[in-house]
Amino acid sequence: MKNFSISLLGLGLLAATAALSACSSKPPQPDWQGNAYSSLQSFSSAYLTGDTRVADVEFARARNAVASTGRPDLVARAELMRCATRVASLEFDNCAGFQPLAQDADAGQRSYAAYLNGQWQGLDASLLPPQHKTAVSTGRLGDIQDPLSQLVAAGALLQSGRLTPADIATATETASAQGWRRPLLAWLGVQSQRAKAAGDAAALAQLQRRMDLVAKPAP
């Protein structure tokens, strides 16, 4: 299996193998692979835009499809994808869905869970995807291009206590550019806390206006 790639929604390999099989004489890929990939895509989109109900339904479908294989490592991959999406939105739960599967997960998966949870002491960064290796080695977002991977790295850096003010601003504007309400509100909240601590009333008021605009649907 590939290493973790949030830009491919964790199970991108499944779609790739399905596409290849369509162009070859090999038997078609099992239905569970396409079903899981489609549901994970729908989960990610719904979660980031703030539709919790749809996100929960789609993730349950994806997990059920993957669980039909009886392979804990594949279910662990799906759970880590969900955890990473939550970390991008600054919703931290110690990757609760992954923990019961950790004993059957591989070393890369356990390292990725530790990374997401900000548990970097003794972390073997060589087991992480390239973009996240950079975040660990430099303490910065660097040049991560994929928007969701960037927000995941920012959330992990925040958990580890290493996120810089410049990268907080970068994460905020990345969420804004994508129109992702849930992480945008979370990152605007971080900026708002900083403005309040600094006694910057003008910045605080401006940030609150942005938060109100994002949070309140048009009549």
- Give the model confidence (pLDDT) of 43-92 as tens digits: 999 999 999 999 999 999 999 999 999 999 999 999 999 999 999 999 99
Provide φ and ψ at 71, rounded to 5°. Answer: -110, 105
* pLDDT band at 9; cut points 50, 70, 90: very low
pTM for the model: 0.87
Contact in structure between 92 and 117 (CB atoms under 8 Å): yes
What is d(CA 31, CA 49) in angstroms, rounded to the nearest whole number? Answer: 28
Contact in structure between 95 and 116 (CB atoms under 8 Å): yes
Contact in structure between 99 and 116 (CB atoms under 8 Å): no
Q: How far is CA 32 from the centre of its chain?
A: 22
What is d(CA 148, CA 193) in angstroms, rounded to the nearest whole number? Answer: 23
Contact in structure between 139 and 147 (CB atoms under 8 Å): no
